[in-house]
Amino acid sequence: MKLYNQILPWLHQRTQITVHRQLLLISGPERWAIEQANTLLAESSLLLWIGNSEGLQNSSNSQQYRQFLGQEYQHLLINCYSGFRANAIIALSGVVRAGGLMVIICPSIEDWPSYQDPEWQNRVSFGYLSSFTTSSFIQILTSKLQADANVAWLTPTAFRGSITQIPSSRQQISFEEDKFDEQSAAISAIIKVATGHRNRPLVLSADRGRGKSSALGIAAAELINTFGKNIIITAPSPATVERVFHHAEINIHNVKVSKNQLESDTGSLTYCAIDDLLQNEHCADILFIDEAAALPTHFLMQVIDRFSRIVFSTTLHGYEGSGRGFELRVKQYLKQHKPQFKTLQLHQPRRWLCGDYLEALWFDVFFMASLPAPELKVCNEKVEYCLISKQQLIGDLVQTQAIFQLLINAHYQTSPDDLVRLFDSPEQHCFVIKQNQHILGVALIIEEGGPVLAEVNQKIATGARRVKGHLLAQNLAFQYAQGAFCELTQWRITRIAIAEELQSQGMGQQLINYIAVSAQSNNISVLSSSFGLNLDLLRFWQKAGFSVVNLSQQSEVSSGEHSAQLIKPLTLPAEEFLLAMQYEFQAELLYQADKSLQRFETHVLGELLLTCPPQIANECTSIEIIEQFYAGTRPLVSCKRLLRSYFIAQLHAASTLTNTQFLLLVAVLLQNVANVEISKKYALKGKKEIEENIRTAIGLLITFNKRSAHASTLEH
């Protein structure tokens, strides 16, 4: 009862004055903590409960957190006994409204780092779980929470909590005016997209709580009321746009409300799922895309191509790193295809007050607050390549933050969950490039394969078993039915990043070379990597000595690119595996060229084919037909199969052709691309000109082949 006499007045006082959002930790036995939370928040009408509630509250699990983004709650409760998920923590913190409370249930501070968190098994690979007994990240987290005077604590024996009242000063009034001016500018910019020149999209970006949704809703109402516009809005889910619809509904004249739609006599606002938007015809004067960073980038690129008036609304933090992905990928695509697009960033919070405690806390905990950028340059001073141990990561958090910032800036998928793995995953290691204590580059590697898979390797190879982690070791063992491949000790490079101002100077290659030397000294047989394939990345990894041995048949949802898997053998047994895989990979590549890879980038497919082992030469009986085609007495349609086989056998002679001729043969003979697309891509005037260009290219291969045969005869 004594505890309630302390915490209830604190809770009551928070409702009587203007306060910042805060974090309350209820730390103790789970059942006790749930009972306290249920009692303290019993009167809350806007409560979101994540994790086990012992049936006392309706609850959801942290895997479903995306469906709540864009909504608002007075109280958010997360039960960390059900698992600590960093991505969900920082994203969900944004649903707490001004003056609200985020509540975390957790074990005691002494026990939490060693608590057997259910999420551990999602972060640690098979065979390594027993070596993971204490979470270094949770130790860092609890240390930061204890040091923050704005964090309130409730334990079975004590309560600690302070409240800092926000003064009603002229400064706050000025701040409110700034908020109004900033949002007014955003609303005006949105309206201009719909009423001004075409093909000038707007990218509206901000951290959470800056009023993007309300700006979209108010602008939608103005476009409907004044300009009679029909608006389509898309987002990860209908729940995401609830706030947009709320602000639009209260501002539209004579509004009629139906499921996923607001209508008036002059216009409408309609929600449409992104796949429906792309698969079916939809008429709209302007398209809104809310929480764009949470949608697959290749979908967004298709939308850019299809619609001439678009407003993107995107969150910078909290979407598993994809906010940065939007910056890296979608903005680059806009620069190429809609170069007159505009950007507008909102800085002042609207959902909560400036200087918000809760936002500052989580940005600090997850190293999301930007560091001052050091002036980096390669000079005569020594550049150091080294492995950073877990102890060094923990002991120098400033250095670790610099490492993580570099990963965030370079990789669109880097997320708060990755920070937890950096500290806690025993099979993950971090290599860096340093100069004068500045981090110039970083690479993360994961241990795979080896003795830990010895007992399950045959089951993996037959598809009967799949274990946590060991991504490439398992994929390649199954793809090629080579169980023994699992037993090779492997390092998979999962991330590599070089500071932007130091790129294209060979530092990435040098870092990979250093990792390869370290791997050999640790008796590692294989280096591997996997990424969404494009020509620049392919050439980078090929230069480092890696060979592609597998390619996904479907493009990845997140990137729109096919995922490539590469290996670099470091031992003789690994080289033997590579050679066997390459022959099988080439056969699969050729088989899939006009099937799942028909729309694959032709120049990338061509590059892959050039690195494959040579095929057996054509039989002499086919040469006569090939020469008839070259002479113009035989049409393409009557000998396309033989031309395909001949081209494959002569891939080693590709240097004889121009790049355009080579890619034309790949597209026509291997991918079987339609003439309409060929004409458009290579600026050719229909079937006749396509055939003439193929005939010229085949003639060059025939000439090269005859010269080679003649030279060989002379030598003998």
pLDDT tens string 91-105: 899 899 989 999 999
User: What burial letters (b/e) apply to 324-362, b meaning 16+ CB within 10 Å?
Assistant: bbbbebbbeebeeebeebbebebebbbbbbeebbbbebb
403/384 Cα distance (integer angstroms): 15
Mean pLDDT, residues 450-477:
95
Q: What mean pLDDT do residues 621-647 have? A: 87
* CA–CA separation, 631 and 398 (whole Å): 71
- Model confidence at 167, pLDDT cuts 50, 70, 90, reads low
pLDDT at residue 176 greater than cutoff 70: no
Please state the three-class secondary structure of 562-598 as a single string: EEEEEEEECCHHHHHHHHHHHHHHHHHHHHHCCCCCC
Check: CB of residue 424 under 8 Å from CB of residue 136. yes
Least confident range from 18-22, 235-239, 637-641: namely 235-239
- What's this model's pTM, rounded to 2 decimal places? 0.82
Q: HSE, CB side, 13 Å, CA atoms: give it for residue 76.
A: 28
Give SS3 for 273: coil
Kind of pairing between the strands at 310-315 and 159-160: unpaired
Is 600's pLDDT higher than 50?
A: yes
Count of CB atoms situated within 10 Å of the CB of 119: 18
pLDDT at 710: 58
What's the token pair of residue 674?
A: 């339609």
What percentage of the chain carries pLDDT values higher than 90?
60
- Run of H or E including 697: helix 686-715
Please enumerate, as own/partner, the contacts of 701-710 that have beta carbons within 8 Å and a separation of 24 or more.
701/646, 701/647, 701/650, 701/653, 701/656, 701/657, 702/626, 702/627, 702/630, 703/656, 704/650, 704/653, 704/656, 705/650, 705/653, 708/653
The pLDDT-based confidence of 714 (bands split at 50, 70, 90) is low
Could you read off the pLDDT of 12-64 as tens digits, one per residue? 888 888 899 999 999 999 999 999 999 999 888 889 999 999 888 888 888 88
Residue 560 has what pLDDT?
65
CA distance 238 to 272: 8
pLDDT above 80: residue 129: yes
Q: Where do runs of H (alpha helix) occur along 17-163?
A: 30-40, 86-92, 120-123, 136-147
Query: Would you state the torsion angle of the CA atoms of residues 382, 385, 389, 391, taken in this order, to the nearest 10 degrees?
Result: 10
Residue reference for tokens 């141990």: 389
Could you tell me the pLDDT band of residue 324, with boundaries at 50, 70 and 90? low
**Amino acid at the residue 458:** Q
Helix segments in 338-413, DSSP class H: 357-365, 390-395, 397-410
Query: Helix, strand or coil for residue 214?
Result: helix
**Residue 69: per-residue pLDDT:** 77
Q: Indicate the average pLDDT of the chain.
A: 88
Q: Which residues contact 323 (CB under 8 A, 6 or more apart)?
A: 293, 314, 315, 316, 317
> What's the distance, Cα to Cα, between the start and end of the chain in Å?
103
Separation of alpha carbons 103 and 31, rounded Å: 15
d(CA 634, CA 620): 17
Cβ neighbours around 513 below 10 Å, total: 14
Residue count of the chain: 716
Q: Contact 338/304 with Cβ under 8 angstroms?
A: yes
Reported as a pLDDT band with limits 50, 70 and 90, residue 175 is very low
Q: How far apart are CA 30 and CA 22, in angstroms?
A: 21
Lowest mean pLDDT among 28-37, 199-208, 406-415, 520-529: 406-415
Summary count for the chain: helices (H), strands (E)? 28, 21
Q: Is 428 helix (H, G, I), strand (E, B) or coil?
A: strand
**pLDDT score recorded for residue 377:** 62
Q: In the sheet where 310-315 sits, what is the strand order?
A: 256-258, 261-263, 268-271, 230-234, 286-289, 310-315, 202-206, 342-346
Q: Indicate the pLDDT class of residue 614, thresholds 50, 70 and 90.
A: low
Asked if pLDDT for residue 716 goes beyond 80, the answer is: no
**Residue 120 pLDDT grade (very low, low, confident, very high; cuts 50, 70, 90):** confident
Question: How confident is the model at residue 147, as a pLDDT?
Answer: 93
What does the pLDDT look like over 252-286, one tens digit per residue?
999 999 999 999 999 999 999 888 898 888 889 99
> Is residue 320 predicted with pLDDT exceeding 50?
no
Enumerate the β-bridge partners of residue 26.
105, 154
Q: What is the mean pLDDT of residues 214-238?
A: 94
Handedness of CA 72, 75, 80, 86 (dihedral sign): positive
pLDDT of residue 505 exceeding 50 = yes
Q: Which band of pLDDT confidence, cut at 50, 70 and 90, is reported for residue 314?
A: confident
For residue 155, the model assigns a pLDDT of 95
Tell me, what's the pLDDT at 173? 40
The mean pLDDT of 664-673, rounded to a whole number, is 95
Quick one: pLDDT at residue 670? 95
Say whether pLDDT at 605 is over 90. Answer: yes
Average pLDDT estimate for 606-629: 74
Mean pLDDT of 479-504: 93
